[in-house]
Amino acid sequence: MSDSSPTRVLVTGAGGPAGIAVLRSLARRDDVVLLAADMDRYASGLYLVDAGARHLVRPGLSEEFVDHLVGLCERERVDVLFSTVDVELPRLAAERKRLAAVGTTLAAPSLETLEVCLDKYALAQRCTGVVRTPRTALLGETDPDSWDYPVIVKPRRGAGSRGVHLVEDAAALRALGSDEDILVQANLPGDEYSVDTLADADGTVVAAVPRSRLRVDSGVSVAGSTVADPELEETARQVAAAVGLVGVANVQLRRDAEGRPALLEVNPRFPGAMPLTVAAGVDMPSLALDLALERPLPASVPFRELAVVRYLEDVFVPLADVVSEEDAR
Amino acid sequence: MTTALGELDLLLTDHHVHSTWSDDAVSAPMENLVAARDTGLASIRMVDHVRTTTTWVPGFLAEISALPRVEGLEVLTGVEAKILDASGRLDVPDDLVVGAGGVDRVLIADHQFPGPDGPWSPRRTLEELAAGLPAEDALSILVTATVRAMERAGRGQLAHLFSLLPKIGLHESELLDEHVAAIADAAVRTGTTVEVNEKWRCPGPRVVLQLAAAGVTLVGSTDSHEATTVGRYSWVAEAASATRLVGTR
Ligand SMILES: [Zn+2]
Ligand SMILES: [Zn+2]
Say yes or no to pLDDT of A3 above 60: no
pLDDT number for residue A322: 60
pLDDT higher at A63 or A158: A63
User: pTM of this prediction?
Assistant: 0.89
Note the pLDDT of residue A159. Answer: 67
Average pLDDT over every residue of A96-117: 96
Asked if residue B16 has pLDDT above 50, the reply is yes
Q: Taking CB atoms and an 8 Å limit, are B121 and A1 in contact across chains?
A: no
Which pLDDT band, with edges at 50, 70 and 90, does A329 fall under? very low
- Return the residue in B16, B19, B26, B121 with the most chain A beta carbons within 10 A, the one to mutate for interface testing: B26
Domain ranges of chain B: 2-248
User: What ipTM was predicted for this assembly?
Assistant: 0.87
| Contacting residues of B for A58, CB less than 8 Å apart | 23
Residue B160: is its pLDDT beyond 70? Answer: yes
What residues of B are in the A interface, CB distance below 8 Å? 20, 23-28, 30-31, 34, 49, 51, 82, 109, 111-112, 121-123, 126, 163, 166-167, 169, 199, 222-229
- pLDDT band of residue B245 (cuts 50, 70, 90) is low
Percent of chain A residues topping a pLDDT of 90:
80
- CATH of span B2-248: 3.20.20.140
Contact yes or no for A103 and B121 at CB 8 A:
yes
Residue A157 neighbours by CB distance under 10 Å? 14
Q: Is the pLDDT of residue A122 over 70?
A: yes
What are the φ and ψ backbone dihedral angles of A305, each rounded to 5 degrees? -80, 130
pLDDT higher than 70, residue A187: yes
Q: Give CA separation, A97 vs A19, A93, B84, B182, in Å.
A: 23, 9, 19, 36
Q: How many other C-beta atoms are found inside a 10 Å radius of the C-beta of residue B178? A: 10
In this prediction, residue A198 carries a pLDDT of 98
Report whether A217 contacts A227 (CB < 8 A): no
**Minimum mean pLDDT range among A1-5, A181-185, A232-236, B159-163:** A1-5
CA A287 to chain B, closest CA, distance in angstroms equals 22
Q: What is the rounded CA–CA span in Å between residue A18 and residue A276?
A: 12
pLDDT tens column, A270-300: 999 999 999 999 999 999 999 999 999 999 9
Q: Please report the DSSP string for B67-131 in residue order.
A: SPP-TT-EEEEEEEEEB-STT--B---TT--BSTTSBSEEEEE-SSEEETTEEEPHHHHHHHHHT
Tell me the pLDDT of chain A averaged across its residues.
91
Q: What is the pLDDT of residues A65-94, one digit of tens each?
A: 999 999 999 999 999 999 999 899 999 999
Shortest CA distance from B28: residue in chain A = A328
Q: Which ligand is nearest to the CA of B108?
A: 1
Residue of A1, A75, A79 to mutate for B, most B C-beta atoms under 10 A: A75
Model pLDDT, residue A161? 66
